[in-house]
Structure 1
Amino acid sequence: MRTNRGSARTRLLLAATLVAATLAATGSPSQADQDIRTAAGQSVTVDKVKEIAGETGESLAQVTQLLREDASMRLDAKGRLYHADRVAKASATSSAPVVAASPDHPLADTFKLHSRRGSKKVIYLDFTGERVCDTEWNRGGLLGLGALPCGTYAGYDVDGRAGFSNAERALVQEVWARVAEDYAPFDVDVTTERPAAWRINRSSASDTYFGVHGVVSSSTTARDRTCGGPGCAGVAYVGIFDEPRTDGQRIFWAFPEELGNQPRRLADVLSHEAGHTLNLLHDGNTTAEYDQGHGIWAPLMGASDRALTQWSRGEYQGANNRQDDLSVIATNGARYKADDHSSRLSSGTRLNPSSTRSGVIGRSADVDVFRLRTRCRGTVNVAVRNVRFGPNLDIRLRIYNSRGRLVTTRNPTSSSSGMAGGLDASFRGIRPVGTTYLVIDGVGARDPRTTGYSGYGSLGRYGVRYTSSCGRRW
């Protein structure tokens, strides 16, 4: 059971799994008024809830409210906790035609993509169909839904034809890129290439190679038996990412037809369900199980089709979950990646003209420094650009002179509605002979409570490049 700061609600959820197991052993209570009816329709005795409250230091009222308020929270026949996530209220974009953007990688490499090749932790996104047998999904008892039959379940299918068309491969690449960006701050490989079973399973606490397996499926049977029928976008067990001997729970599901096969929404669901396996709870509010955000922004552990979705710590108005998503992920199996660029001017990364360097803003306080040189007084053009698909990073660029004094700041205001514009930053100006420092970090915009977002989840990959007629190589 986790003890990290900010995870009291997670401990409650994990402790709740003990309830079903105890009920199975002791039988049903003799008096109906001793039961608490959960939002999912399951019964838990008051005495057992009191035990949970005593173990966690929470009040009976708090534990009771938690069990009653989240209809997606379920206990399987063995008392294991999972979430069956319903589709958020759709907007016009959800029923729009599915359009494949031009891919960033060769189509032949679609099922060989890696975000951090070599990492010991894996989130495998499986689009090609999967034979699912001998898992917890196949053992039944999921709110009377019946066991998922052992068999092969269809993968991602937009056009209704066998195999993957070029358009479908391009869509797979976009979905992968968006999920990879959500997990860019962490030492985890988001991949479309099937790993060996030992790379997913975890045999013991000493086993350092493990991960989860996300099955993207068009199968209505899989949707109905694991998740309860139409309207369910995804389902996953909670907190199993780094738990040994939970191999039967390492598959999580996403059902793209419930999302109109839209790549942006599918990517959000995959990141959300993988988040559950890393112990993340829902970001809801005082009136809704899933917060749908505001402006261009929404929390990844809520549910919406807004353009900018980020990890959250409940800074929006009415938040009912203050869980620190980033900290929870990092302490439940997917540690932060190592910093890639220094934050000190004196040790900034050397940047040559007309050469793009990449980086990752990996933490809220992360700052990356680059140095460029000019051999004459002249115009310098600097561009710092986000990744193409699903950026989470709102870039701020600061320019310092050779003496370490701030010259100017470039931080365009992001769009307040519609598409997520204004996240990149650039500079064009005259620079003297010598060294200029570029300082890059992530920032927020407007009021995170009601119209914008803070710098907390403003993280991700970028590329920086400069050109100048006076540019000088190191």
Structure 2
Amino acid sequence: MKSTHRRRWAAAVAVTGAGALALGGSALPAVAIETQPAHVEDDAKEFGFLASLVEPLVSGPEALDQLAESALASVADRAGLTVERLTSYLEQDLARVSPNGFVTFVDEWEVTGHDHTLELDQASEVPGDPVNGSRPDASHTLFIDFDGHTIENTEWNKAYEVDTIEIGAYDVDDDFKYVVWERIAQDYAPFDVNVTISDPGPDALFKSSADDNSYGSHLLVVPDSSVLPPALQGTGGWAFVGGFGSEYLSPAFVMADVLQDNAAYIADAGSHEVGHNLGLDHHGIAGEEYYYEDTPAAPDALWGPIMGAAYTVPLSTWSDGGYADATNPGQDDIATILDRDSADHFATGLVDENGDPWTSGICPYLDGRLDEDFDGTLRPEHEVFEPDAQNECAFQQSGHDGAPLTVLWEYVDRTDRASDPHGDDPSDATSLDNSTGEFAEDGVIVSDGDVDVFSVLTDGGDFTATASPVGIGANLDVKLSLLDGEGNVLDEVEQETTVDPLGYPGDPAALGLDATIDAELEAGVYYVQVEGRGQGDPGDNTPSDGSGYTDYSSLGFYELTGAAEPFEADPVVITSPEDGAEVEADDLEVTGNAEAEATVTLTIDGETVGSVDVDAEGAWSTTLDDSLPYGESTITAQQTVGTIEVPETDSVTVTVPLEAPVIVKPEEGDTAATPTPTFSGTGIAGATVTITIECDGELVGETEVDDEGDWAFTPDEGLPNGDCTVVAVQSVGDTVSPSSDVVNFSVNVDEPGDEDGTEDGTEDGTDDGTEEGDEDGDDLPDTGSGNQLGLIAGLVLLAAGGALYARTRRAVV
């Protein structure tokens, strides 16, 4: 089904004018306004949004000629490039600048022709599926769109002067889609990104506020690039740099026809273009813009960077530029992708209440008052209105008659590293279930320092373990290690990786990415470690052969399988207390079952709180050594059979309730004769008591319970006359008790006469005006109760001065 995302601002992208109003953060574009804003300086105008920086349809050299020096610096900064690097790209026509200052690279690759045949039985599948995605619970989404799309109201439309771009569906079978999806999912396995071919809707793709953490990238597969504007044809793909999360900078394109309708090539180009959305530049070698651009890969070349043109090598991964003759050695791809500090925002326009573009003057307010320091730069915290009928702005937002305007903000951001499902050392190892004599576990290596550790308990004998990257297009080259119960390395294996000659060049694949360990073991606990590895020396790489790579991006999904004789022992079980039970703090008895004549150790938060020998019937019982703290505690039982500490444990969580404190004074219905009465009561020694007093407003205070179990609190500020209530809670650590009973009381304090003035006028001023000024911020003369004439004169002066001031505050245009 073809999808179309529409925005309220409709034709706003076509609006250009003589001036510009700055919208957004530092060095970000602003929306075009028909007349020159009062506070916008020339430099801001040059980078006005949507004021044009360059003409549409210009080449790189033409854009360089048209960009003012300050605008060139701003464009480079937003794209994460130096001015020198951007200038070089533009001079060679390797990059383009859109009218509003967004950068795209000209990804004009040449790929080797071949007969392509899909094979889906090369390895186990990656987690998930194309429809539901590789990580359905991820915060961010990469949507691979095979279904066609109508592109409108975007920077693409503005840059190439077309109202709409119609892209039809790419009519390929599910197997083809699966290969594209799986290869891209492999590249984004280390990140909190769900790769899917199902349209998740705009809420999951486009960031709507600085706090919105649900967004991503729309990757559109174009079946016939001839339907695109001529300037977009003939390339492998296009994407705006740093556009991740923005609908206005969407979609990213890959051209299926240019890429010879090859699923592997389309996937590589797709990961590359979304990499641009995530702020990445290119990786080349020896002066070539892309690794394997003009110099094709040798048949035995293993590796190339995703941000190069690594179509015909089996390992295309993220890079830190750490290879010989790198053109971009300063770019750490993974660090850039994870750089959430690069989150930014910009505005695409203003619309009125009818959703029509607004191109006239505005009245900007901050915290309910006219922003008198407005310098032409709107921020998300501004509230913006049309001028009133007299083309003026009221000082107070509440008194302004102009209709509200909506600023159309766009937000861009990066992503996060995926969570690591397995621990990195034996103390946090994942236990392998070999109760049937075999075991299997899935995992993912998410960083070059990630080592996934698994424990296995065996009765001894033959042992085997194999760790293999799953799916086609894997980036993970595995190193596998076996450790004894003390953590000593018994064996480690990493195969030599080579190119599968049958896959070159159309279906590149590597051999030897997996690793297997076979051993004869004594009974006991052992640990299996899985991690990524590198091979060769990247310093020896050449333009035609990138066979040296490190573990920097040897990342991705794997499966660990194997066999080990199960250790025969009854499991350790806690039978009492039950999970969730409320218990007394002292002398808690814990009972259970385990292997006969084993030893059971009880711990809380890693600290031993009890130990007991199991009887011949497999039963055990013991009383905890120490008192439990208030609140929840998790008791964990683990057994040792002979000299073997069995990894499997059992746990229960119990609660020692914390009673509410008691309020002794005041008693129900008491009347306080002082505005600062003392409240007192009883509680748990050492606890913190929080008292909430409600009269004409709320007052909250804290005090400690003394060693005798008593507490007292006297408020610093006086309580007003009238009815009041008081309630208290007590806390010990993170545990908070229920509330005490509410006590009703009153305050009745005789009030002396006002020696300094009357109810209508005091020494400091009247109810309507103070020494500091009136509610509108204008200074007033002293208006004590004895100066009625001065009061009237002051109000007259205020009215005259306020009117004069208001007439000078016209709408910002």
Match of 1:453 among 538, 549, 574: 549
2:308 matches 1:302? yes
Quick one: distance in 1 between partners of 2:281 and 2:152? Answer: 27
Quick one: distance in 1 between partners of 2:500 and 2:122? Answer: 26
TM-score (norm: length of structure 1): 0.81
> What is the CA-CA distance between 1:118 and the residue it aligns to?
1.6
2:348 matches 1:348? no
Match of 1:415 among 498, 508, 514: 498
* Matching residue's letter, 1:316: Y
* Matching residue's letter, 1:129: G
> What is the CA-CA distance between 1:285 and the residue it aligns to?
2.6
Q: Relative to 1, partners in 2 of residues 1:50 and 1:360: Cα closer, same or farther, differing over 3 Å?
A: closer
1:227–1:234 contact (8 Å) kept in structure 2: no
Partner of 1:6: none
2:87 matches 1:82? no
Q: Which has the higher contact order (CA 8 A, sep 6+)?
A: 1
> What is the CA-CA distance between 1:98 and the residue it aligns to?
3.5
Partner of 1:239: 242
3-state SS in 1 of match to 2:211: coil
Q: Relative to 1, partners in 2 of residues 1:438 and 1:197: Cα closer, same or farther, differing over 3 Å?
A: same
Quick one: distance in 2 between partners of 1:249 and 1:417? Answer: 39
> What is the CA-CA distance between 1:359 and the residue it aligns to?
0.9
2:388 matches 1:388? no
Partner of 1:284: 284
2:531 matches 1:435? no
> What is the CA-CA distance between 1:119 and the residue it aligns to?
1.5
Q: Tell which deviates more after alignment, 355-364 or 288-297.
A: 288-297
Quick one: distance in 1 between partners of 2:320 and 2:499? Answer: 21
Whichever of the two has the greater Rg, that structure is 2
2:52–2:99 contact (8 Å) kept in structure 1: no
Q: Relative to 1, partners in 2 of residues 1:379 and 1:130: Cα closer, same or farther, differing over 3 Å?
A: same
Measured against aligned partners, the alpha-carbon deviations of 1:292-350 in whole angstroms (never above 9, x if no partner) come to: 27721000000132111000011121111120100111114210112211111122100
Q: Relative to 1, partners in 2 of residues 1:269 and 1:437: Cα closer, same or farther, differing over 3 Å?
A: same
3-state SS in 2 of match to 1:138: helix
Partner of 1:316: 323
Q: Relative to 1, partners in 2 of residues 1:95 and 1:154: Cα closer, same or farther, differing over 3 Å?
A: farther
Quick one: distance in 2 between partners of 1:431 and 1:291? Answer: 47
1:227–1:235 contact (8 Å) kept in structure 2: no
Partner of 2:46: 22
* Matching residue's letter, 1:178: R
Partner of 2:756: none
Q: Relative to 1, partners in 2 of residues 1:74 and 1:471: Cα closer, same or farther, differing over 3 Å?
A: farther
> What is the CA-CA distance between 1:99 and the residue it aligns to?
2.5
2:285–2:327 contact (8 Å) kept in structure 1: yes
> What is the CA-CA distance between 1:439 and the residue it aligns to?
1.0
Match of 2:448 among 343, 364, 367: 364
Q: Counterparts in 2 of 1:60-79, with a 5 A limit?
A: 64-69=87-92, 71-79=93-101
* Matching residue's letter, 1:411: E
> What is the CA-CA distance between 1:289 and the residue it aligns to?
1.0
1:103–1:174 contact (8 Å) kept in structure 2: no
Partner of 1:164: none
Measured against aligned partners, the alpha-carbon deviations of 1:246-269 in whole angstroms (never above 9, x if no partner) come to: 322121111122112222111111
Quick one: distance in 2 between partners of 1:112 and 1:133? Answer: 26
TM-score (norm: length of structure 2): 0.49
* Matching residue's letter, 2:198: E
Quick one: distance in 2 between partners of 1:176 and 1:385? Answer: 20
3-state SS in 2 of match to 1:461: strand
2:483 matches 1:400? yes
Quick one: distance in 2 between partners of 1:214 and 1:119? Answer: 17
Partner of 2:273: 273
Measured against aligned partners, the alpha-carbon deviations of 1:79-123 in whole angstroms (never above 9, x if no partner) come to: 222223112x323xx4223425259999xx975131111212111
Quick one: distance in 2 between partners of 1:51 and 1:400? Answer: 55
Quick one: distance in 2 between partners of 1:26 and 1:357? Answer: 55
3-state SS in 2 of match to 1:114: coil
Measured against aligned partners, the alpha-carbon deviations of 1:367-411 in whole angstroms (never above 9, x if no partner) come to: 1100111113x1111010101211111100111112211111100
* Matching residue's letter, 1:283: H
Q: Relative to 1, partners in 2 of residues 1:430 and 1:135: Cα closer, same or farther, differing over 3 Å?
A: same
Partner of 2:168: 154
1:84–1:236 contact (8 Å) kept in structure 2: no
> What is the CA-CA distance between 1:213 and the residue it aligns to?
0.7
1:178–1:390 contact (8 Å) kept in structure 2: yes
> What is the CA-CA distance between 1:284 and the residue it aligns to?
1.6
Quick one: distance in 1 between partners of 2:146 and 2:339? Answer: 28
Q: Relative to 1, partners in 2 of residues 1:15 and 1:319: Cα closer, same or farther, differing over 3 Å?
A: farther
Q: Tell which deviates more after alignment, 124-133 or 59-68.
A: 59-68
Match of 2:339 among 302, 316, 331: 331
> What is the CA-CA distance between 1:62 and the residue it aligns to?
5.4
Indicate the structure with greater strand content. Answer: 2
> What is the CA-CA distance between 1:228 and the residue it aligns to?
2.7
Indicate the structure with greater helix content. Answer: 1
Partner of 1:229: 233
3-state SS in 1 of match to 2:91: helix
Q: Relative to 1, partners in 2 of residues 1:104 and 1:414: Cα closer, same or farther, differing over 3 Å?
A: closer
Quick one: distance in 1 between partners of 2:81 and 2:185? Answer: 36
Q: Which runs of 5+ in 1 are unaligned?
A: 1-13, 29-36, 159-167
Q: Tell which deviates more after alignment, 169-178 or 287-296.
A: 287-296
Quick one: distance in 2 between partners of 1:234 and 1:55? Answer: 23
3-state SS in 1 of match to 2:486: coil
Partner of 1:5: none
2:555 matches 1:465? no
Q: Tell which deviates more after alignment, 113-122 or 49-58.
A: 49-58
Quick one: distance in 1 between partners of 2:77 and 2:201? Answer: 39
2:236–2:258 contact (8 Å) kept in structure 1: yes
Q: Relative to 1, partners in 2 of residues 1:447 and 1:239: Cα closer, same or farther, differing over 3 Å?
A: same
> What is the CA-CA distance between 1:54 and the residue it aligns to?
11
Partner of 2:175: 170
3-state SS in 1 of match to 2:264: helix
Q: Tell which deviates more after alignment, 286-295 or 351-360.
A: 286-295
Q: Relative to 1, partners in 2 of residues 1:471 and 1:310: Cα closer, same or farther, differing over 3 Å?
A: farther
Quick one: distance in 1 between partners of 2:82 and 2:130? Answer: 49
1:100–1:171 contact (8 Å) kept in structure 2: no
Q: Relative to 1, partners in 2 of residues 1:82 and 1:464: Cα closer, same or farther, differing over 3 Å?
A: same
3-state SS in 1 of match to 2:439: coil
Identity of paired residues, percent? 27
Partner of 2:351: none
Quick one: distance in 2 between partners of 1:390 and 1:218? Answer: 22
Q: Relative to 1, partners in 2 of residues 1:156 and 1:273: Cα closer, same or farther, differing over 3 Å?
A: same
3-state SS in 1 of match to 2:189: coil
> What is the CA-CA distance between 1:455 and the residue it aligns to?
0.8
3-state SS in 2 of match to 1:237: coil
Quick one: distance in 2 between partners of 1:26 and 1:258? Answer: 31
